Each structure stands twice: as structure tokens, then as C-alpha cells.
């Protein structure tokens, strides 16, 4: 079990060296959202670079707004998220944060989560879903349709009782006190060695393991043969990427 925090601009400027010295083992950083227009959290860059410089593994999350209630909405938010995190590496998962979608739109919000996660996975990221145990996973989502993804579950005062099957991170308080952070901070227990899994599978911006290279076609190869070889290569790459994502899911079950 690892002790990790999640932060946003609400924590103001953070002394990440002090945070690591306090025994924190990772951080999930707010990247942006669509709950107040679409935006990037203005402390995301500072938090990302200083946390990684301090040697902490980091993840990121995107807070979707109340209108994220269809698969197309989830895909659109994922694309915005990808733009924000482009060029960075994340040893912890990246998450869709579902807190404010209407309870009357459970089916749509569930499809939004699926669209979001599928888009992130297609881009080579290990993606999960954040929501509270009851008001999120129970009241806002059809949890039985989300078993393919890792869950980051919030419940304060007692352990989660509803969203437990795929719970790999538990946010157990919003009132944590950590040296290096002047305001209260969310505290989490993480039950999976995500950094080892994500790095070894070449996900979340990390360099993929070396792959065997096929022999280059000869200079006099016919055009149709070259095109066929290229198509086969692209298909193999897509299958390899999906295989890595599937392997990660199996490893954390």
C-alpha cells in the first residue's frame, strides 16, 4: 500500500521536496476540466514538474462537467485532456473525475466514462475512473458497465462498501495535513504498484520496450508489397498496444 495525495490549484504553491520528505509516495494532479467551461488548472504545470523533480510518481485527472453525459462528450473531454498532458509522463494512472453529472443521466454519464477511457487507452494511456462510493459510482454511474477500468473511490469516515470490485485507490479524507502544503489535502491509499506496471508496459508517455524489427523491404520491392507490409506493421502495433493495456488490467485484478 502506498500513501498518495491528490492536488489542484486549491492547495496553492506546494513544496514538493517537503512533501516527499513527509513520506508521501505519489500524487495525482488536476490537469483541467469542463465543469466551468473548458480549462487547464493553472497550477498543473508547476505541480507536475516540481513533483517529478522531487522524485515522486505522478498521475493526472480531468474533472468533467454536468454536460458530459454521452459517449461523444466523453471522447471530446478526453481529447482536451490529451492536449493538456501531451509530452509528459505519468507513472500513476490518468483519470476521468465524475462528480457533477446529473443522477438522472446515469446511462449517459456511464457512456461518457467509456468513451473517455477508450480514447485515452487508444492514445496509449492507462485510464481509470474517479467517483465517490455512493453519490458517484452508485447514484451517477452504472457500475456494472465499468468493470474493465480501474476505480479510484472516494469515501470518508469508513471504507467503501459499494464500489469495491475494481477499487485500486481509496480516497479516505479531504482533511489531510502534509508538510509542504499549507492547506488541507486529499489523502489516498493505493493498493497497486502502478509505476512498475505502467513503465514496464510502455504506457502513459514512457518509452515502449524494444521490439524486434522486421527486415526492411529490398529496393526493388513492388509498391503493393511495400503497402501490404506497412499495413501489417500498423495492425501489429495496434494489437501490441491493446495487448499491453489488457495485460495491465489483468495484472491489477
Condensed to tens digits (0 to 9), the pLDDT of residues 211-252 reads: 645 544 444 444 445 555 555 565 566 666 667 667 767 777
Residue 66's SS3 state is: coil
Residue 204 backbone phi and psi in degrees, to 5: 55, 35
Q: How far is it, in rounded angstroms, from Cα 174 to Cα 194?
A: 22
Model pTM score: 0.85
Going by pLDDT thresholds of 50, 70 and 90, the confidence category of residue 177 is very high
Tell which residue, 85, 91, 5, 102, has the closest CA to residue 41: 85
Q: Which three cell numbers stand for residue 180?
A: 509542504
Instruction: Tell the residue number behind the cell numbers 469508513, with chain if given.
Output: 158
Residues 6+ apart with CB under 8 A from 66: 35, 100, 101, 102
Phi, psi values for residue 4, rounded to 5°:
-130, 160
- Tell me the pLDDT of the chain averaged across its residues: 90
> What are the tens digits of pLDDT across the range 109-164?
999 999 999 999 999 999 999 999 999 999 999 999 999 999 999 999 999 999 99
Q: What is the pLDDT of residue 243?
A: 72
Instruction: Determine the pLDDT at residue 23.
Output: 98
Cα-based distances in Å from 117 to 52, 75, 144: 24, 8, 15
What percent of the chain is predicted at pLDDT more than 90?
81
pLDDT value, residue 242: 67
Looking at domain 2-200, which of 3.20.20.80, 3.40.50.620, 3.10.520.10, 3.40.50.9100 is its CATH number? 3.20.20.80
Amino acid at each position: 500500500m502506498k500513501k498518495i495525495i491528490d492536488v489542484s490549484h486549491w492547495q496553492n504553491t506546494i513544496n514538493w521536496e517537503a512533501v516527499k520528505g513527509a513520506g508521501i509516495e505519489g500524487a495525482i494532479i488536476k490537469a483541467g476540466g469542463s465543469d466551468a467551461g473548458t480549462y487547464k488548472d493553472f497550477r498543473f504545470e508547476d505541480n507536475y514538474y516540481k513533483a517529478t523533480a522531487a522524485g515522486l510518481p505522478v498521475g493526472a485527472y480531468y474533472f468533467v462537467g454536468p454536460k458530459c453525459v454521452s459517449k461523444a462528450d466523453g471522447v471530446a473531454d478526453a481529447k482536451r485532456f490529451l492536449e493538456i498532458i501531451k509530452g509528459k509522463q505519468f507513472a500513476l494512472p490518468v483519470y476521468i473525475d465524475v462528480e457533477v453529472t446529473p443522477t438522472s443521466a446515469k446511462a449517459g454519464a456511464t457512456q461518457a466514462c467509456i468513451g473517455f477511457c477508450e480514447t485515452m487507452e487508444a492514445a496509449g494511456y492507462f485510464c481509470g475512473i474517479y467517483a465517490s462510493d455512493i453519490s458517484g459510482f452508485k447514484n451517477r454511474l452504472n457500475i456494472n458497465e465499468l468493470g474493465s477500468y480501474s476505480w479510484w473511490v472516494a469515501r470518508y469516515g469508513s471504507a467503501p462498501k459499494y464500489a469495491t470490485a475494481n477499487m485500486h485507490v481509496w480516497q479516505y479524507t479531504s482533511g489531510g495535513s502534509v508538510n509542504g502544503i499549507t492547506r488541507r489535502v486529499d489523502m489516498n491509499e493505493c493498493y497497486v504498484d502502478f509505476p512498475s506496471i505502467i513503465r514496464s508496459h510502455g504506457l502513459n508517455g514512457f518509452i515502449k520496450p524494444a521490439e524486434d524489427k522486421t527486415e526492411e523491404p529490398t529496393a526493388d520491392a513492388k509498391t503493393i508489397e511495400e503497402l501490404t507490409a506497412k499495413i501489417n506493421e500498423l495492425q501489429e502495433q495496434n494489437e501490441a498496444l491493446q495487448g499491453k493495456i489488457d495485460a495491465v488490467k489483468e495484472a491489477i485484478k
